[in-house]
Amino acid sequence: MNLMPKLAARAEAGRPVRCALIGAGKFGSMFLAQAPHIEGLEVAAIADLDPERARQACRTVGWDEARIAATRFVDSGVAAAEMDGVEVVIEATGHPAAGARHALAAIAAGRHVVMVNVEADVLVGPVLAAKAKAAGVVYSMAYGDQPALVAEMVDWARASGFTVAAAGKGTKYLPAYHRVTPDEVWGHYGLTPEAAKAAGMNPQMFNSFLDGTKSAIEMAAIANASGLDVPEGGLAFPPCGVDDLAHVLRPKAVGGRLDHDGMVEVVSSLERDGRPVFRDLRWGVYVVLKAPNPYAAACFKQYGLPTDSTGLYAAMYKPFHLIGLELSISVLNAVLRGEPTGTTRSWRGDAVATAKRDLKAGEMLDGEGGYTVYGRLMPAAASRAAKALPIGLAHGVTLKRDVAAGAVVTSDDVMLDERAEIVRLRRELEAADR
């Protein structure tokens, strides 16, 4: 990738790449653990609602007091984004409205943006990407997170001349998980509530991975970045190990599970009866390739790729992803090469709020991973036509009428503040993409 020679030249010239991190949670902490070991990369500022908590996060990942003293800690993400000398802003709060606000501030200040905050990206990413392009700055997915890794694999496949039949990730899934609440989540992770609390683990955040919300968000992000299609009926989560990817994730017309080539899908590491899938892909990502001709198909077999029975479809996969430990790849690509590691290019997929149980008028929705709704993947055109409420706007809003269990919540079902910046950005997306 030639990043290190470029970075070495900057370091030798006394011009380190200077970044600001907004949000010192798990993802941000993992990045902070690596930053001191990358010569020429400098974390100039860290923004967190609790700056002392951010300082403690730095100590936890091994920063010495001298490095901490040399770093500016602030409680405002906007202030960090606008700080003199910062070239790239990392938005890692996970809060959609805050993420959009910080991205807008960074773009207005002429800073590149690495959007760890997939929640904000799926909610209003095409609008933010367009504003970044107009300002001449990079708006990038976060390398190390699954959407960016999948986008890279899709780009590689197409640049190599293959059709992409499917792309996505693995996860632990059973249909009943859609109804799980934060009160029940730790049993599914093999933890006691006491142990999880002692480790500082947030039950609602972890539940968003279990109940399908994160999968919906991440697949929407991949579709929006790569131009792949979203299943009309939402994610199917077929049980599938790495040896069977090319067999399962091919079109129904040839015996697979997909409507057609060119789709996103998530595979489950559990069979429907709860048994573990053989050689599962729970922590990884994949792309299924379709050979353009018999010669390429023969090469698949000759070089050991797992193929389907026709030999035309083959799978490539990455069994693990390292989250924030790999984030510097995005930071350095943005500054040194002026390129994103994946970016939103169109609005093709949406993650919409779906009732976990019968909901009553007057109840307040509590957003992703909560007690009331989960995120379901939906084609963007269908979401707009149904006036579906995106999961990113489903926190802290009150229902105006009853919603049945399993039904998609619509914007007409809730009381939204149309004056709020994040709602206005969403309406801008909905109006522009027609």
pLDDT at 83 over 80: yes
Q: Alpha helices, DSSP H only, in 172-234?
A: 185-188, 193-198, 203-210, 213-226
Instruction: Measure CA 80 to chain center.
Output: 23
Per-residue pLDDT, averaged over 338-357, amounts to 98
- At residue 433 the predicted structure's pLDDT band, cuts being 50, 70 and 90, is low
The whole-number pLDDT of residue 434 equals 58
Residues across the chain: 434
pLDDT at 339 over 90: yes
- At residue 199 the predicted structure's pLDDT band, cuts being 50, 70 and 90, is confident
Q: What percent of the chain stands above pLDDT 70?
A: 99
103, 429, 165, 173: which is closest to 307 by C-alpha? 165
Neighbours of 196 (CB within 10 A): 16
Per-residue pLDDT, averaged over 359-368, amounts to 97
The whole-number pLDDT of residue 169 equals 98
Amino acid at 92: A
- Lookup: tokens for 249: 């994730």
More confident residue, 385 or 195: 385
Per-residue pLDDT, averaged over 378-407, amounts to 97
pLDDT mean across residues, the chain? 96
The whole-number pLDDT of residue 201 equals 80
Cut 0.95: pTM above it: yes
Q: Locate tokens 């048994």: which residue?
A: 275
Residue 245: strand, helix, or coil: helix
Instruction: Measure CA 6 to chain center.
Output: 28
pLDDT at 255 over 80: yes
- At residue 1 the predicted structure's pLDDT band, cuts being 50, 70 and 90, is low
Per-residue pLDDT, averaged over 344-373, amounts to 97
Walk me through the domains of the chain, giving residue ranges and CATH numbers. Answer: 3-145+324-337 (3.40.50.720), 147-173+212-320 (no CATH), 349-432 (3.90.1210.10)
The whole-number pLDDT of residue 202 equals 87
Beta 163-171 vs 364-366: how paired, if at all? unpaired
The whole-number pLDDT of residue 54 equals 97
pLDDT in tens, 306-323: 999 999 999 999 999 999
pLDDT in tens, 109-151: 999 999 999 999 999 999 999 999 999 999 999 999 999 999 9
